[in-house]
């Protein structure tokens, strides 16, 4: 288990520190909570604002148990209603992976062509010659995607499209490429034919589509800057993209978007399951504020559902402010009492010595 702490110091500088990296005997929620609690005790950390984890079912139990522990310590802010944060980057990964299950034949043909050319040094040499003839100057090299990493599919296609003319020329020089594409059988049993005229057009559309999610993942995965204030903005942007692409004339993209939209709604269509701190962070960003968040909520969820979320959010922001004011007031009183006590002790000590 790797436990990373993010915090802002008194000089408003953001820090990221790995507080624990250790083997664990069980991935059960209760055991994970015990391991995390032990780490917090070892470091003397008792104030935890949020816990960000992936969507593993055991994490539900983990966060519930941690919330109970923080309540015992008297540090569970707003009874832990904000504590559980689902990793946005992880959810995006799951959404795109679902969509890539529906990739069309154009992507399959490009992947197989890459696999064929990379098989021998002689083919790679011939392909490089084609690049020189076509005057393709690129520092990138042909790469195959890794099934478990969706962004590798984006990187594979993004690189391949730069070598489009080289692929076409290579097909004329090596008939084996077209034979390979024609005779190759994919895992799902569908025959993948040779390149067709609109293959590269579809690849460019696919790259542009996946680029949005690739850049989004990079933005929300940053560790040297605060990201919570842009999460809701990005979620709203993705929702708009899905609405647009589901009605696309490109059947491959439309099918992918439909699949991804279903996964998207699994995580972000039920307001009661969403952590309101995602909205609050956006409200506190002076570029967005409450009016923007309210507008996006109405756009995403409609007048009735979105309106209720807007009203609930306003009440939550007020209660959050009241909670901070109450806690700050107590701490100020405590500090004042401690300061007064110290002053009295000093005065008594001075008078005694006199």
* Residues 179-204: tens digit of each pLDDT: 887 765 444 444 444 566 678 888 88
The mean pLDDT of the chain is: 83
pLDDT at 294 over 70: yes
The token pair that represents 302 in the structure block:
């409609």
pLDDT at 164 over 80: yes
Determine the straight-line distance between the first and last CA of the chain, rounded to whole angstroms.
60
Sequence ranges of the domains in the chain: 2-86, 95-217, 277-335
Measuring CA to CA, how many Å separate 288 from each of 223, 229, 253, 296, 318? 22, 9, 31, 10, 18
Rounded mean pLDDT of 158-170?
90
The pLDDT confidence band at residue 351, using thresholds 50, 70 and 90, is very low
pLDDT in tens, 123-137: 999 999 999 999 998
Rounded mean pLDDT of 291-312?
90
What are the percentages of helix, strand and coil residues in the chain, rounded to 5? 70, 5, 25
């Amino acid at each position: 288990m790797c436990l990373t702490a993010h915090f802002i110091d008194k000089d408003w500088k953001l820090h990221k520190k790995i507080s624990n990296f250790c083997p664990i005997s069980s991935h059960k929620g209760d055991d994970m909570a015990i391991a995390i609690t032990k780490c917090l005790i070892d470091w003397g950390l008792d104030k935890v604002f949020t816990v960000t984890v992936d969507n593993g079912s055991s994490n539900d139990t983990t966060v519930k148990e941690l919330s109970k522990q923080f309540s015992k310590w008297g540090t569970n802010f707003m009874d832990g209603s904000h504590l559980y944060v689902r990793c946005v980057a992880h959810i995006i990964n799951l959404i795109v992976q679902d969509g890539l299950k529906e990739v069309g034949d154009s992507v399959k043909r490009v992947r197989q062509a890459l696999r064929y050319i990379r098989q021998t040094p002689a083919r790679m040499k011939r392909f490089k010659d084609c690049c020189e003839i076509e005057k393709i100057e690129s520092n990138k090299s042909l790469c195959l995607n890794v099934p478990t990493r969706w962004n590798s599919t984006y990187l594979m296609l993004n690189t391949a499209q730069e070598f489009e003319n080289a692929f076409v020329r290579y097909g004329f020089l090596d008939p084996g490429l077209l034979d390979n594409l024609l005779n190759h059988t994919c895992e799902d049993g569908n025959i993948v034919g040779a390149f067709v005229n609109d293959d590269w057009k579809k690849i460019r559309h696919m790259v542009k589509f996946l680029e949005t999610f690739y850049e989004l993942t990079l933005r929300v995965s940053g560790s040297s800057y605060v990201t919570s204030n842009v999460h809701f903005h990005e979620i709203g942007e993705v929702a708009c993209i899905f609405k647009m692409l589901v009605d696309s004339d490109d059947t491959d993209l439309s099918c992918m978007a439909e699949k991804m939209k279903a996964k998207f709604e699994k995580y972000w269509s039920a307001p009661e399951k969403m952590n309101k701190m995602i909205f609050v962070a956006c409200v506190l960003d002076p570029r967005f504020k409450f009016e923007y968040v309210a507008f996006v909520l109405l756009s995403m969820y409609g007048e009735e559902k979105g309106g209720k979320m807007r009203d609930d959010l306003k009440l939550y922001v007020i209660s959050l402010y009241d909670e901070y004011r109450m806690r700050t007031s107590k701490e100020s009183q405590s500090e004042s009492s401690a300061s007064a006590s110290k002053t009295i002790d000093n005065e008594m000590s001075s008078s005694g010595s006199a």
